Amino acid sequence: MASVSAAQYGKDNIRVYKVHKDEKTGFQTVVEMTVCVLLKGDIETSYTEADNSVVVATDSMKNTVYIMAKQHPVTPAELFGAIVATHFVETYKHIHSAEVKVKVHRWTRLTVDGMPHPHSFFRDGSETRNVEATVMEGNGISIRSAIAGLLVLKSTGSAFHTFYRDEYTTLPDVYDRILSTEVDCGWKWNTFSNINEVESAVPKFDNAWEAARKITLDTFAKEVSPSVQNTLYKMCEQIMAAVPEIAAVDYSLPNKHYFEIDLSWHKGLQNTGKDAEVYAPQSDPNGLIQCTVSR
């Protein structure tokens, strides 16, 4: 007899927008996010016996996210994710774990005639601020915060040489190269016992995000990088030092390659090595360098 060894279900891609209207100043603030809810618990019979009595409809999960967004703050996303996840575990006896992923799409306030505009915004790149909040009955609330989709490039100040060389190697040592990546950087908070502890930590979430972003960008720019591996490790070390309440930091960095183009076939045109100016950006394949650093 086969049995269900793992099961979870939920609603993905729940898109939510919330506006805050400051009546005094006339300034409005907007938050747009995409939410995913996944539940686990005593739900096996819904799979094996078509027993829908244990199924909280995914449509109801979507409704719940809208209602929670109306009744509670949606920022920081760490708190909102923890509130929604706690709601599901506390409301349904047979649901023992809820994972809520929140992806915040950044709307940046427009400056018009040198002044911040009260109600107009623009999208500055594809970067998002992501949170995964998981509530497991009896095991508190675990939260991972992250920066995702932050695209960066440096046109010099990066090298890659003295790597392992054998009969499969064609890549030459490079002492000056282009380095480009799309940053995915996450940090795992020490587990919270309950929602009150998450509430008390609220100021720390924005501070950690700002510190992680600044460390990532400053290190990327300032370091003469010997490899993606070493540069991302230096970022991890600094984030661990800057935010004592986190247990681990992780990075996932694609290495987006830019190839030199030999144009010497055209009238001896010099475009390689120190003469390289025109490159061919590669969409694939890309390197992928990942690391988690813990205390």
Ligand X SMILES: O=c1[nH]c(=O)c2[nH]c(=O)[nH]c2[nH]1
Active-site hit among 87, 188, 204, 257: 257
DSSP state of 273: G
What does DSSP assign to residue 191? P
> Backbone dihedral region of 62: left (phi > 0), alpha (psi from -120 to 50 degrees) or beta?
alpha
Decide: 51 and 63 in contact? Cβ < 8 Å. Answer: no
- Residues in contact with ligand X, counted by CB under 6 A, come to a total of 8
Give me the count of residues in the chain: 295
Instruction: Pick the closer one to ligand X by CB: 134 or 158.
Output: 158
Task: Tell me how far apart the alpha carbons of residues 125 and 199 are, in angstroms, rounded to a whole number.
Answer: 30
Asked if 128 touches ligand X (CB under 6 A), the answer is: no
The region of 102-110, 147-155, 194-202, 221-229 touching ligand X under the rule CB under 6 A is 221-229
Among 88, 160, 189, 209, binds ligand X (CB under 6 A): 160
DSSP 60: H
154 is a catalytic site residue: no
Least distance (Å) between residue 229 CB and ligand X: 6
Please give the Cα distance from 239 to 249 (Å, whole number): 7
221 binds ligand X (CB under 6 A): no
* 287 sits near ligand X (criterion: CB under 6 A): yes
Q: Which residues contact 89 (CB under 8 A, 6 or more apart)?
A: 95, 96, 97, 98, 135, 136, 137
> For residues 134 and 180, which CB has a smaller minimum distance to ligand X in the complex?
180
Please identify, using beta-carbon distances, which residue of 229 and 271 lies nearer to ligand X.
Answer: 229
Listed residue (60, 63, 64, 14) closest to 52, CA to CA = 60
Q: Which residues does 144 contact at the CB level (< 8 Å), separation at least 6?
A: 131, 132, 186, 187, 188, 189
Position 255 contacts ligand X (CB under 6 A): yes
- Give the nearer residue to ligand X in terms of CB position, either 58 or 286: 286
Q: How far is the CB of 233 from ligand X (least distance, A)?
A: 12
Catalytic residue, candidates 29, 45, 58, 191: 58
Cα distances (Å, whole numbers) of residue 291 to 10, 65, 103, 288 = 29, 33, 22, 10
Cβ distance to ligand X smaller for residue 14 or 289: 289
3-class DSSP state of 107:
coil
256 classed as catalytic: no
Q: Does 171 bind ligand X (CB under 6 A)?
A: yes
Min CB(255)–ligand X separation in Å: 5
> Per the residue annotation, which of 11, 87, 101, 188 is the catalytic one?
11
Report which secondary-structure segment, H or E, holds 198: helix 195-200
Q: Is 11 an active-site residue?
A: yes
- We find the least distance from the C-beta atom of residue 176 to ligand X, in angstroms, to be 13
Site string for ligand X, 224-243 (x = CB under 6 A): ---xxx--------------
| Contact predicate 209/147, CB 8 Å | yes
Which residues form the interface with ligand X (CB under 6 A)?
A: 160, 171, 227-229, 255, 287, 289
Catalytic residues: 11, 58, 257
